[in-house]
Chain A
């Protein structure tokens, strides 16, 4: 089916989502009666820092037609390692976490690419194993992060609304945009997702690209977890599935297609920002927690419906039947 505004659709969805949420965010003072402060924006960006890297990680894998369920596990383990190893030197902790994340991602990427195993079961199994690993490393309890210097540093205000954490997250998106848009890796990634058979025929090194992809998603997830735990000054071995689900919503809002082949770093950024702003709106306006969940449910239902081939077929059938009757 020819998507007439194809290129624009993957820009349209995140742009619309972000615009709506920004407008709603700007309008919160009207409902709460309190004026907007820079602190509100700072908070929103902190929320962005919390899920941004996860959203980017999962968004990248979805662009290639895969789905990395293990990012939450890497998030937890990376964060745990960062806290344990970073008690005296935060940089060491970060490096250890990132290295672990890369290794975890690379192993999965290898299994998926070279053994041609679908990504969902591999990453799901890895998630369970990583959860266990996090428990083992932590001894089952939350681990306190004693490096107060690091904790204060990552969350200090920069230019009033940013923090080093949100800036790093932003930086990751910028780097992704540069790589996806300025090198041949971007088109190759989308080709692998859009039509893997044609990509292989065209000569794309699909296997190598997949390994690189999962290594990247593991690295990003670990980095995100590390920064978050520095900020919380503790490492929780089990953040649950919730971060994964929120990150998936952010990726879908960011214009990534379920089937793969579509998506931009800018779109993912917009999606992550939209989700973060939404969370902040809910907090500020004292909306009940279930409203976000129901809103996400409705959003995802619409996205699923649009991308369902069977629905399109039914519409075509109905249209054919009505034209026959009219004829």
Chain B
């Protein structure tokens, strides 16, 4: 771990009392910290603490409501991601900006306004080689197609690209979330080199032990405020968790459910998705709510997607109500009684331009009339009753779903799988992402009543409160495997540790 190099004058990045609200709801209230040249500064915080908003402001995607950002002592107004790039602020996040169809070399100068029109190939190859070697990527060739690289290598090329385009500040947002240990180590090595070059590095991650190993300083955010900025040396994961969650870790009372029906169970054995999920097994009983607690890359989401038929390479055996589920294609899974609510309601869930009513009945069209005909009256009645069930305002049935709030959109998404006698298992990935408190409570009620009505309910989430409140059985997952299973009472800090600590080296 290097000591942050003090230049004696201004730190390279100064965040001064940033604040930002969305429609009156504050996401960031008062965040200040500095990052010096050569310093690797971690930004930690639980969901909703404001990390992603701070990152967006620093990378130019959002303008702060108040507060300033200073680069090398000069206040800057970052109007867009491109403008930030011109000023030397590079962002490496899950939305990669490397194009797979191009070679490593071509990606390096893609979009660089300082690149000349005529390509000087020899000079460009030499510079690319230099940057790659500098980052320890001797194995990569400049004329290699990025599509032949693994996700980890693509991430590294993205970082190399930032360096090549003369970044002074590199922000990394969850760079190792979907990477293996080996690949993560290479990213760390690359980050250290980047810092050694004099860049300021902001490192956002939920993998706390990695954070402590790699970073010089840690700033913890909680509820939109920076609660502490401290050197990483001597800090432990437990102390970090305490900072992130508050004084005392959560301890919610166990809500025991009466012993539910065994015959209507979902039995999963040896579920395996190459590269993402290893040997997952679960017997989920109707009437109970099962929670898969795992961060991005833990495999929690992949369990649900595999069961819903969206992973054609999945292997294993899945039975619902003692009948085998053809889980390699979504039509088969749906016909067996599995309903899936994905974590991307806008891209893979709702039909945004269509009305609320259309969305609500979208998956039960063949039951709204005989012989494939949809009865208009029955459709109206069904839509209205579903809207009531999902506590949606009844006068919005004809409005396009796009116009609804995030919470109501999610209610529509969940609501369309309710009250169907052909649905026996309800799988939800991040059921309350982007939903306000009121909406979250409503959706939790919906899920509880669905379970009470005899459905198997399994959801994946990273929200501690949601996991503890809703989950009768909580399975913590990390790196494609189940870490622990908790029935009844569990501890927020324990869950957090399971989800974030790196596997001990074998």
Consider the complex of A and B and state whether they touch directly, i.e. have CB atoms less than 8 Å apart: yes
Question: B92-114: which residues lie under 8 A (CB-CB) from chain A?
Answer: 95-103, 106-107, 109-113
Question: A215-229: which residues lie under 8 A (CB-CB) from chain B?
Answer: none
Q: Please state if B113 and A191 are interface contacts (CB–CB under 8 Å).
A: no
CB distance from B122 to the nearest CB of A (A): 12
Which of these, A195, A204, A261, A316, contacts B111 with CB under 8 Å?
A204
A185: which B residues are within 8 A, CB to CB? Answer: 117
| Interface size band for A | 35 or more
Stretch of B308-316, B443-451, B496-504 on the interface side: B308-316
Query: Is A242 part of the binding interface, using a Cβ–Cβ cutoff of 8 Å?
Result: no
Q: Closest A-chain residue to B117, C-beta based?
A: A183
CA distance A316 to B313 in the complex (A): 6
Query: Is B129 part of the binding interface, using a Cβ–Cβ cutoff of 8 Å?
Result: no
CA distance A175 to B161 in the complex (A): 29
Question: A190-234: which residues lie under 8 A (CB-CB) from chain B?
Answer: 190-191, 193-195, 197-199, 201-204
Q: Please state if B312 and A194 are interface contacts (CB–CB under 8 Å).
A: no
CB distance from A67 to the nearest CB of B (A): 17
Q: Is the interface of B mostly helix, strand, loop or mixed?
A: loop
Which of these, A188, A202, A319, A320, contacts B97 with CB under 8 Å?
A202
Q: Known interface pairs A183-B117, A183-B118, A317-B312. Does A194 touch B148 (Cβ–Cβ under 8 Å)? A: no
B85: which A residues are within 8 A, CB to CB? Answer: 203
Q: Please state if A320 and B101 are interface contacts (CB–CB under 8 Å).
A: no
CA distance A201 to B103 in the complex (A): 17
Q: Please state if A261 and B101 are interface contacts (CB–CB under 8 Å).
A: yes
Q: Closest B-chain residue to A6, C-beta based?
A: B145
B118: which A residues are within 8 A, CB to CB? Answer: 182-183
CB distance from A244 to the nearest CB of B (A): 25
Q: Please state if B312 and A7 are interface contacts (CB–CB under 8 Å).
A: no
CA distance A201 to B84 in the complex (A): 12
Which of these, A184, A203, A320, A324, contacts B119 with CB under 8 Å?
A184
CA distance A197 to B347 in the complex (A): 14
Query: Is B382 part of the binding interface, using a Cβ–Cβ cutoff of 8 Å?
Result: no
Q: Please state if A7 and B143 are interface contacts (CB–CB under 8 Å).
A: yes
Q: Closest A-chain residue to B144, C-beta based?
A: A7
CA distance A314 to B95 in the complex (A): 28
CA distance A3 to B82 in the complex (A): 31
CB distance from B180 to the nearest CB of A (A): 16
Query: Is B367 part of the binding interface, using a Cβ–Cβ cutoff of 8 Å?
Result: no
Q: Please state if A190 and B101 are interface contacts (CB–CB under 8 Å).
A: yes
Which of these, A202, A319, A321, A324, contacts B99 with CB under 8 Å?
A202
Q: Please state if A201 and B97 are interface contacts (CB–CB under 8 Å).
A: yes
CA distance A7 to B141 in the complex (A): 13
Q: Known interface pairs A6-B145, A204-B110. Does A198 touch B314 (Cβ–Cβ under 8 Å)? A: no
CA distance A201 to B94 in the complex (A): 12
Q: Closest A-chain residue to B116, C-beta based?
A: A184
CA distance A190 to B116 in the complex (A): 18
Query: Is B329 part of the binding interface, using a Cβ–Cβ cutoff of 8 Å?
Result: yes
CA distance A5 to B53 in the complex (A): 41
A324: which B residues are within 8 A, CB to CB? Answer: 315-316
Which of these, A7, A187, A316, contacts B110 with CB under 8 Å?
A187
Q: Please state if A2 and B148 are interface contacts (CB–CB under 8 Å).
A: yes
B121: which A residues are within 8 A, CB to CB? Answer: 182
Question: A34-84: which residues lie under 8 A (CB-CB) from chain B?
Answer: none
Query: Is B115 part of the binding interface, using a Cβ–Cβ cutoff of 8 Å?
Result: yes
B99: which A residues are within 8 A, CB to CB? Answer: 190-191, 194-195, 198-199, 202, 261
Q: Please state if B315 and A188 are interface contacts (CB–CB under 8 Å).
A: no
CB distance from B503 to the nearest CB of A (A): 25
Q: Please state if B328 and A320 are interface contacts (CB–CB under 8 Å).
A: yes
Question: B301-329: which residues lie under 8 A (CB-CB) from chain A?
Answer: 312-316, 328-329
Query: Is B363 part of the binding interface, using a Cβ–Cβ cutoff of 8 Å?
Result: no
A314: which B residues are within 8 A, CB to CB? Answer: 312
Query: Is B433 part of the binding interface, using a Cβ–Cβ cutoff of 8 Å?
Result: no
Q: Closest B-chain residue to A192, C-beta based?
A: B99
CA distance A261 to B102 in the complex (A): 8
Q: Please state if A193 and B101 are interface contacts (CB–CB under 8 Å).
A: yes
Q: Please state if B110 and A195 are interface contacts (CB–CB under 8 Å).
A: no
CA distance A252 to B224 in the complex (A): 53
CB distance from B225 to the nearest CB of A (A): 30
Q: Please state if B315 and A7 are interface contacts (CB–CB under 8 Å).
A: no
Query: Is B346 part of the binding interface, using a Cβ–Cβ cutoff of 8 Å?
Result: no
Q: Please state if B148 and A190 are interface contacts (CB–CB under 8 Å).
A: no
Query: Is A165 part of the binding interface, using a Cβ–Cβ cutoff of 8 Å?
Result: no
Q: Please state if B315 and A194 are interface contacts (CB–CB under 8 Å).
A: no
Query: Is A313 part of the binding interface, using a Cβ–Cβ cutoff of 8 Å?
Result: yes
Q: Please state if B96 and A321 are interface contacts (CB–CB under 8 Å).
A: no
Query: Is A4 part of the binding interface, using a Cβ–Cβ cutoff of 8 Å?
Result: yes
Q: Please state if B103 and A182 are interface contacts (CB–CB under 8 Å).
A: no
Contacts A183-B119, A320-B314 known; list 15 others, CB within 8 Å.
A6-B147, A6-B148, A7-B145, A182-B118, A184-B115, A187-B107, A188-B110, A190-B99, A191-B99, A198-B97, A199-B110, A202-B107, A204-B111, A317-B313, A317-B329
Q: List 24 A-B contacts (CB under 8 A).
A: A3-B148, A7-B145, A183-B117, A185-B117, A187-B109, A187-B110, A191-B106, A194-B101, A195-B100, A195-B101, A198-B95, A199-B97, A201-B81, A201-B97, A203-B82, A203-B110, A261-B101, A314-B312, A316-B312, A317-B328, A317-B329, A319-B313, A320-B312, A324-B316
What 10 pairs between A and B have smallest CB-CB spacing? A194-B101, A203-B111, A261-B101, A202-B111, A187-B106, A201-B97, A202-B97, A316-B312, A6-B145, A317-B312
